[in-house]
Amino acid sequence: MGRNLTRKLIDSHLVAGKPVAGEEIGLAIDQILLTDTNGNMSLLQFEAMGLPRIVPRRAVAYIDHNVYQFDSRNTDDHRYMQTAARRYGAVFSKPGNGICHQVHMETFSVPGQTLLGSDSHTPLCGAAGMLAIGAGSLDVAVAMGGGPYFTTMPSIVRIWLTGALQPWVTAKDVILELLRRLTVRGGTGKIFEYAGPGLASLLAAQRMTIANMGAELGLTTSVFPSDDVTRSFLTRLGREQDWQPASPDDDATYDDQIELDLSALTPLIALPGSPDRVVPVEEVAGTPIEQVMVGSCTNGSWHDMASVTEILRGRRIHPSISFVLFPGSHRILETMSSEGLLTDLLRAGATVSEPTCGSCAGIGHVPAAGTKSLRAFNRNFPGRSGVKGDEVYLCSSTVAAASALTGVITDPRTLGGAPSGVTLPLRFADSAVGFVEPDGLGEVVRGPNIKAVPIGEPVAETLEAPVVIKLGDKVSTDDISPAGAAVLMFRSNMPAISEFTFKYVDPEFVARARAAGRGIIVGGELYGQGSSREVAAIAPMYLGVRAVIAKSFARIHRANLINWGVVPLVLDDAAAHDGIERDDRLRLEDLRASLAGDGRVTILNTRTGALFRASCVVTPREREILIAGGLLALTRERQA
């Protein structure tokens, strides 16, 4: 029986477990990606575990989120990361060099290798035939030390592409269509492997958009084959020698298949609130907007920048619109300059930002209260843009450009004519100026904003504590620990950042959790969806939260909770959620013994007297970590 490509990638890196869907597997990691919002934590944790040197063949530390450095606490983080990268063996990517995923794909992607990143959009490099997975900082720190990455073996779904995209329709519409069909839960426990006759027409940049935003489906990752398209991409970057073919066997089998006819797609848009609230653009055409942004790791490619330029050339941005482009990398920006795109964009009235995540993470360009913002980005969870009650629509770069001209949401097909198409430069700018190679030397500099990482405590025999917050479905990590400039600068400072926990959802949360001493969070479906930000697990733990009881959990967040000794419990009967209220005292009898056994826990609501059950089904490895109070606590225990 033939193997699919994902299976080949897994088999060639498997160091523990059996690749049977649902079982735990351990994978050897070839490459590491660190960001300035979570990678700094990975480095601190790497040091806290006493690991001497980064083992995988390639590690890169990117300054890409907090690029503006408008506060010295950002710069403290950056100095720490730069000096730690130098010392322990990671390439340092300077502020302004670009968004980690875009830059990594351009500079370091190697078909056939594995990549583990401290950011949820790490799967972008799956566009080059890599097995690229996003994880919490601590899992990344372990892999930096040479340890395997443990995860649940996903089921592998073939996405069978036929046809070709119509004019004005883009790769963004492919992933929005999948989100429309499957929702943000649809990819849980799965890897999507793209195949079929439609594949050849998708350029590397288009594959990047699709692989990147698979994160919004909740996928473990997405995989594209490495073929002539990949080769041409690497050749234009002067990296032809890094190309190698990677493809499934002709008779490969899959766990499931989804068919998608590219020719049938039309321009789509996600309505405010969630990336899966997808409708055809014509349904909301005419809606007035005040802001249009194109960029992020989903739409910051050359292809995006060039399609926008094609539409704007010789025209003028609407007077009421603030229009900002975020090129994904320094290389793209430099090439835009040498190929003349910058002049066209500036003449049209566009603002071109430094290559950074920027407003995608709520840093800068915060919309005015009560206005609508249209963004060729990947996430629009409530409040993420930096203002409570925001209304952010997600679309392709062509919908964004067309709307920037008219001032209202616009279907680009109504612009008339056909798009002139994107020309790929024969050779992109070399652009190695933003990288600093490590030499193993120098002192690691810790400024005043760098605080020691906290440590969890062993799971109690019996836990009795109040419900410090009760939440509904789809709570994202943006809800738990918001993005935005004022918060992100404290990612290396847990005492300070914990003050922002649930800030926009419930401003009283922190005081209540503190007063309670020990607390329990109650959530709904897909608790902790979205980013990989580990702070969404550490900060509640720091404030005394010892268990989260929910209907279901997102993959990375569940792993983060376990790594920090917070017990993730899934309600046996989701209806029990209705019977719990905030401030109810819950008693988890014999919690520790239950975790050591089958993971089934009986919970008493002391207010109502109701008994209900919840389960924490863990692997033996996870059990050991959880009971000890997390991975750092376990490491300390072993060292002692």
**Binding residues among 42-71 for ligand SF4 as defined by CB under 6 A:** 65
**Binding residues among 164-223 for ligand MIC as defined by CB under 6 A:** none
121 contributes a contact to ligand SF4 by CB under 6 A: yes
384 contributes a contact to ligand SF4 by CB under 6 A: no
Binds ligand SF4 (CB under 6 A): choice among 76, 119, 304, 534: 119
Residue 221: both structure tokens together: 């990752």
Binds ligand SF4 (CB under 6 A): choice among 99, 260, 348, 400: 99
Strand 600-605 to strand 611-615: parallel, antiparallel, or no bridges (unpaired)? antiparallel
Question: 3-class SS at 63?
Answer: coil
Question: 3-class SS at 464?
Answer: strand
124 contributes a contact to ligand SF4 by CB under 6 A: no
Which of ligand SF4, ligand MIC, none sits in contact with 99, Cβ below 5 to 8 A by type?
A: ligand SF4
C-alpha to C-alpha distances, 122 to 232, 298, 468, 535, nearest whole angstrom: 22, 11, 33, 18
What is the pattern of x (binds ligand SF4, CB under 6 A) and - over residues 293-332?
---xx-----------------------------------
Residue 14: both structure tokens together: 């498997």
144 contributes a contact to ligand SF4 by CB under 6 A: no
Binding window for ligand MIC (CB under 6 A); candidates: 248-256, 301-309, 524-532, 579-587: 524-532
* Single-letter code of the amino acid located at 9: L
Residue 261: both structure tokens together: 């006819």
Tokens 């036929």 correspond to 162
Which of ligand MIC, ligand SF4, none sits in contact with 560, Cβ below 5 to 8 A by type?
A: none
Which of ligand SF4, ligand MIC, none sits in contact with 113, Cβ below 5 to 8 A by type?
A: none
Q: Which is nearer to ligand SF4, 184 or 405 (CB)?
A: 184
Binding window for ligand MIC (CB under 6 A); candidates: 119-127, 174-182, 455-463, 499-507: 119-127
Strand 190-195 to strand 155-162: parallel, antiparallel, or no bridges (unpaired)? parallel
Binds ligand SF4 (CB under 6 A): choice among 40, 113, 301, 378: 378
Binds ligand SF4 (CB under 6 A): choice among 90, 345, 360, 510: 360
Which of ligand MIC, ligand SF4, none sits in contact with 532, Cβ below 5 to 8 A by type?
A: ligand MIC
Residue 416: CB partners within 8 Å, gap ≥ 6?
none
Residue 578: CB partners within 8 Å, gap ≥ 6?
none
Tell me the sheet residues that pair with 470: 522
Residue 315: both structure tokens together: 């025209």
- Count of residues touching ligand MIC (by CB under 6 A): 13
Residue 463: CB partners within 8 Å, gap ≥ 6?
518, 520, 546, 547, 567, 586, 587, 588, 591
- Print the SS3 string covering 248-267: CCCCECCCEEEEEEHHHCCC
**397 alpha carbon, distance to own chain's centre:** 20
Q: Which is nearer to ligand MIC, 553 or 612 (CB)?
A: 553
- To ligand MIC, the closest distance from the beta carbon of 100 in angstroms equals 9
Residue 398: CB partners within 8 Å, gap ≥ 6?
168, 170, 267, 307, 308, 311, 412, 419
Residue 457: both structure tokens together: 């405590």
Question: 3-class SS at 368?
Answer: coil
Q: Which is nearer to ligand SF4, 291 or 635 (CB)?
A: 291
Binding window for ligand SF4 (CB under 6 A); candidates: 9-17, 355-363, 588-596, 627-635: 355-363
37 contributes a contact to ligand MIC by CB under 6 A: yes
Contact residues for ligand MIC (CB under 6 A)?
Answer: 37-38, 65, 119-121, 361, 379, 483, 530-533
Contact residues for ligand SF4 (CB under 6 A)?
Answer: 65, 99, 119, 121, 296-297, 357, 360-361, 378
